[in-house]
């Protein structure tokens, strides 16, 4: 009887010990489906990925907006530092900034007006050049504005409205020569004449 009781006591102790050990292990395990669960549910993974995706998308949109601002700023800087155009009376070499350009006809003066190559100046200032042989009309087109001039005519048209020129455009050796002031008024450029060096400087 004594031995039987001892075995029952020992067995009871072992059973209780095993129960408490198992209970302690279960209590320390992460909640199923929680962040600490090594077997995370699919919905948790999907939600996590979606949250990270939205975060990255917001960052990309912010970067895109910054790039647009920088591109606009670069364009503004380019516009503000356009090179000057320098032409000299009687010389076929002109300059756009520091870059020399050869002209077909050198600038000259007529009736106190400086005549410059129509095509060269227009292209240097970013205009599209037009020529209508039937009416002997040349044209500038830029930023939605149009200037039309006829060879040997004092009448010109700016955006469809007639204007009068002091000196008519001339055709010299196949090149159209126009008063430099016409160019400055059309493009809103500044024209400076230096009598000592016989040069005209056009600043966009």
127 and 70 together in one domain: no
What percent of the chain has pLDDT above 70?
Answer: 76
* Average pLDDT over every residue of 82-87: 90
Domain housing 26? 2-80
Q: What is the mean pLDDT of residues 152-173?
A: 91
Q: Are residues 110 and 143 in the same domain?
A: yes
- Residue matched to tokens 């008519």: 168
> What's the pLDDT band for 82 if we cut at 50, 70, 90?
confident
Does 93 lie in the same domain as 162? yes
73 with 100, same domain? no
**Is residue 54 located within the same domain as residue 105?**
no
The reply to whether 59 and 19 lie within a common domain is: yes
For the chain, the domain total comes to 2
Average pLDDT over residues 41-46: 69
Q: Could you say which of 37, 52, 80 is where a domain stops?
A: 80
CB-facing half-sphere around the CA of 161: CA atoms within 13 A:
4
The CATH number for 182's domain is 3.30.457.10
pLDDT at res. 185: 76
Final residue before a domain boundary, out of 38, 59, 80: 80
Under DSSP, the state recorded for 26 is: H
Rounded Cα distance, 171 and 151, in Å:
7
Domain boundary among 56, 80, 104: 80
Higher-pLDDT residue of 40 and 136 is 136
Alpha-carbon span 201 to 189, nearest angstrom: 10
Shared domain check, 66 and 16: yes
pLDDT of residue 46: 74
Confidence at residue 52, expressed as pLDDT on a 0 to 100 scale = 81
Kindly state whether residues 26 and 69 are assigned to the same domain. Answer: yes
pLDDT for 115-133, tens place per residue? 999 999 999 988 899 999 9
The pLDDT score that the predictor gives to residue 109 is 93
Q: Which of 40-49, 65-74, 89-98, 185-194 has the lowest mean pLDDT?
A: 40-49
Q: Decide: helix, strand or coil at residue 103.
A: coil
Indicate whether 5 pLDDT > 60: no
């Amino acid at each position: 009887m004594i031995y039987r009781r001892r075995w029952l006591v020992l067995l009871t102790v072992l059973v209780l010990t095993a129960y408490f050990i198992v209970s302690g292990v279960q209590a320390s395990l992460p909640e199923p489906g929680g962040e600490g669960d090594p077997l995370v549910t699919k919905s948790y993974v999907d939600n996590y990925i979606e949250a990270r995706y939205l975060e990255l998308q917001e960052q990309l949109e912010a970067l895109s907006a910054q790039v647009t601002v920088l591109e606009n700023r670069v364009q503004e800087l380019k516009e503000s530092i356009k090179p000057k155009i320098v032409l000299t009376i009687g010389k076929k070499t002109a300059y756009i900034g520091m870059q020399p350009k050869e002209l077909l006809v050198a600038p000259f003066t007529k009736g106190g007006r400086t005549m410059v190559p129509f095509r060269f100046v227009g292209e240097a200032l970013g205009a599209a050049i037009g020529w209508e042989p039937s009416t002997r009309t040349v044209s500038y087109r830029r930023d939605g504005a149009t200037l039309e001039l006829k060879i040997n005519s004092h009448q010109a048209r700016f955006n469809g409205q007639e204007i009068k020129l002091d000196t008519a455009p001339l055709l010299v050796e196949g090149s159209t020569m126009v008063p430099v002031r016409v160019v400055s008024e059309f493009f809103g450029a500044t024209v400076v004449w230096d009598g000592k060096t016989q040069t005209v400087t056009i600043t966009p």
